[in-house]
Every structure is written in structure tokens, then in C-alpha cells.
Chain A
């Protein structure tokens, strides 16, 4: 059987696979024991696989400038292992992660066939990409139709990030499918992605507008409450000051009246006394005249009683 390993690339591949090896624990820690897989590039470009104390060799056949590597081996090897784990280990060595984390790599499944046909392998990987991009569209559309929670902005941003990742993978797909019938399909897919991004932008701005409205409403309500409290405060402060002034004035009038009763001084002297009195804070003539007026009234009352 023939194994086709494609290294995702955006430019023509000029790799000289050096003699090197890599070991990886391919278990997902579901079971306690580790499950180690080792691959080694040999001088003759063959790959040696060490797995569970067994040694397998993938014989190098050829590789293209697009980064498609072809190997052959006997049918004894576990196909799933070759398609997934060995391929990803192989890709780990050759593929450089420029704009994404290793963990966020495109998890493609390798192509295995009984025939040697590079074009078929390109077709397979192109179709895998088409399937992958459809899944991106489906999942974003599903999220768009179901968004109704408080975290809408965060989920919209996450979906945008996912679409950016998809668009980055699209560049690999363009490079792989150049001069094939799939290239046009990828242009359509890119257009669909752009429409999705526009939809997400619109949703995000709608949501931001809504949030701003809520904030503005809160600000307006708080401003009204603040204004009300301020006016109320001023009213009660003035009322309190007036009451204090009145009570002080009454006290002073009382004390002056008492003094007048004792000393029998004339009104003109009272006026002088009032101006000098330290208890009367408001010494304008209106206040003093008011006091004198009240004293006069007291006098009249006193005389009438006599």
C-alpha cells in the first residue's frame, strides 16, 4: 500500500529531510500507561517506526514540490496508526507553525491507497479541506442562529477567531489545489467565509449598540437620581439654616426683652446693643428693625397689661 503524507504549505516545498527522530506519547491519558511512538528519518529518506517493541519501515517513493510525500509499506501495519498518529508526528517534524499553536494544527487524516497516483492524493486532501470548511460554516451558522445569552460578544469574537483560522487553512488549500478543479470551489468558500465574517460584524455591532443603550439608560437614571438627591439636599440644608437662624433670633429677642425689662433702656440704645451683640450673626438693618418692632410690640403688651 501507498501512504501519502501532505505537509501543509503556502510556498513551494524544498525540504531536505535530515536524519532526525521524534518520540511522542500518543495516549490521551485515558489509561494510566504511556503509549510511545517513535519515528526516525533515515539517510535513504525511509522512515523507521518504533511502536510497542515492533519496528516498521516506510519506504520512500517520492515527494513533490507541493509537499506531498509518498511512502510504501506492507499491509501489516495498523492503518489507523499510519493515517493519524504517524502522520501527525511526521507533520510535527516538517510543518512550521507560523501563525498558530501546535495544538491548533489542522488535524487532517492521511491518504492511503493501493495505487500510486499523486493526483488522487491531491484530490483526497482537497476534498478533506472542502469537508472541513463546510464544517466551519455549519458550526458558525449554528452558533449565529442560537445566540441568546449574555456572553454574545465573547462568542462572536470566538467565532471570528475560528473563521480567521479557517481562512488561514484556506491558503494551504489554495496552494494544494492550484491548477485543479477544486481551486474555484475554494474561492467560493472564501466568499462564504467573508459573508459569515460580515454577519458576525453586524451582530457584534448590534450587540454593542444594545449594550451602549443599556449603559446610557443606566447613566441617565443615575444622573436623575443624583440631581434629585442634590436638590433635596440643598432644600433641606436651607430649611435647616433658616430654622436655626429663627431660633437664634427668638432666643436673642427673648434675652433682649428680659434685659429691657430689668434696665429700662431706650430703644435707640437697644439698637446700639443689638449691633454689638455677638449672638446676632445677621446684623443688617432689616433684622434689627424686625427685632425692634417685636420689642415695641412687647412694650405695648406690657403697658396694656399695666
Chain B
């Protein structure tokens, strides 16, 4: 999984246990996303390590992951065809 894909994946999940996400996106990606501040690490009451996405990731990903309106879809389609 690339870093971009990992970011999109964690953006969808929002939160979870650390061991689960490492098995999904790999330790390397998890480490780099944590270092960059896209993931914040916590601890649950059961003492399991957990994670959740930060505002930084929301700001970074959401502009191009948001749902498009019908008008925007048409606009982008025409731009693509004519461009």
C-alpha cells in the first residue's frame, strides 16, 4: 500500500486499534503517518494502544474526497472532454 492509499484508508476508518491498522497498512506507513501528524496515538481503558486521525489529515484529504455535487460532476466531465 502506498502512503497516499494508506492516508485514504485511515481517513475512512477514522480510529481503531494500533495492531489492527499496522496489519492493514504496514508498520512503515503507520510510523510515517504518525510522524507526519496525520495519526494521533492513544490508549484505551483496556490498555490496548489505539489511534485516531487528526485535523491535519481531515484538512489534507477532505477537499478531494468530499462528495461531488451533480453540477461539479458535469463540470469536471466537460472540462475533461474539452481539455
Instruction: State the A residues within 8 Å of B (CB).
Output: 26-31, 33-35, 37, 80-81, 84-85, 101, 103-107, 128, 131-132, 135-136, 138-139, 142-143, 146, 149-151, 154-155, 158, 161-162, 165, 210-211, 213-214, 217-218
Query: Number of contacting residues on B, CB 8 A?
Result: 36
Q: Name the CB-closest residue of B to A85.
A: B43
Q: Name the CB-closest residue of A to B60.
A: A158
Q: Could you give 26 example pairs across A and B, Cβ below 8 Å?
A: A27-B42, A27-B50, A28-B40, A28-B42, A28-B44, A28-B51, A30-B15, A30-B48, A30-B52, A31-B45, A35-B43, A84-B41, A85-B43, A104-B54, A104-B56, A106-B37, A107-B40, A128-B35, A132-B35, A138-B3, A139-B4, A142-B4, A150-B80, A161-B60, A210-B83, A211-B79
Which among A139, A142, A143, A210 has the greatest number of chain B C-beta atoms within 10 A? A139
Instruction: State the B residues within 8 Å of A (CB).
Output: 2-4, 15-17, 32, 34-37, 39-46, 48-52, 54-56, 59-60, 63-64, 76, 79-80, 82-83
Q: Name the CB-closest residue of B to A213.
A: B83
Known: A27-B42, A30-B44, A138-B3. A214 touches B82 (CB 8 A): yes
A107 touches B63 (CB 8 A): no
A135 touches B36 (CB 8 A): yes
Known: A28-B50, A29-B15, A30-B50. A103 touches B45 (CB 8 A): no
> Which residues of chain B come closer than 8 Å to A155, judged between CB atoms?
63-64
Q: Name the CB-closest residue of A to B36.
A: A135
* Cα–Cα, bound, A84→B43 (Å): 10
12 more A-B contacts (CB under 8 A) besides A27-B43, A31-B45? Answer: A27-B50, A28-B15, A85-B42, A101-B55, A107-B37, A107-B39, A132-B36, A136-B36, A143-B4, A150-B79, A158-B59, A162-B60
* Cα–Cα, bound, A68→B35 (Å): 20
Give the interface SS of chain A, mostly helix, strand, loop or mixed: helix
> Which residues of chain B come closer than 8 Å to A210, judged between CB atoms?
83
Among A33, A138, A154, contact of B64 (Cβ-Cβ < 8 Å): A154
A34 touches B49 (CB 8 A): no
* Cα–Cα, bound, A86→B2 (Å): 31
* Cα–Cα, bound, A135→B50 (Å): 22
> Which residues of chain B come closer than 8 Å to A128, judged between CB atoms?
35
Among B15, B32, B59, B83, contact of A138 (Cβ-Cβ < 8 Å): B32
Known: A132-B36, A138-B3. A154 touches B82 (CB 8 A): no
> Which residues of chain B come closer than 8 Å to A26, judged between CB atoms?
42-43
> Which residues of chain A come closer than 8 Å to B46, judged between CB atoms?
31
* Cα–Cα, bound, A139→B7 (Å): 10
Among B16, B37, B43, B64, contact of A151 (Cβ-Cβ < 8 Å): B64
**Smallest CB separation, B74 vs chain A (Å):** 12
> Which residues of chain B come closer than 8 Å to A165, judged between CB atoms?
37, 56
A28 touches B52 (CB 8 A): yes
> Which residues of chain B come closer than 8 Å to A81, judged between CB atoms?
43
Which among B3, B43, B49, B76 has the greatest number of chain A C-beta atoms within 10 A? B43
Q: Name the CB-closest residue of B to A133.
A: B35
B82 touches A217 (CB 8 A): yes
> Which residues of chain A come closer than 8 Å to B2, judged between CB atoms?
142, 146
B42 touches A103 (CB 8 A): no
> Which residues of chain A come closer than 8 Å to B43, judged between CB atoms?
26-27, 35, 37, 80-81, 85
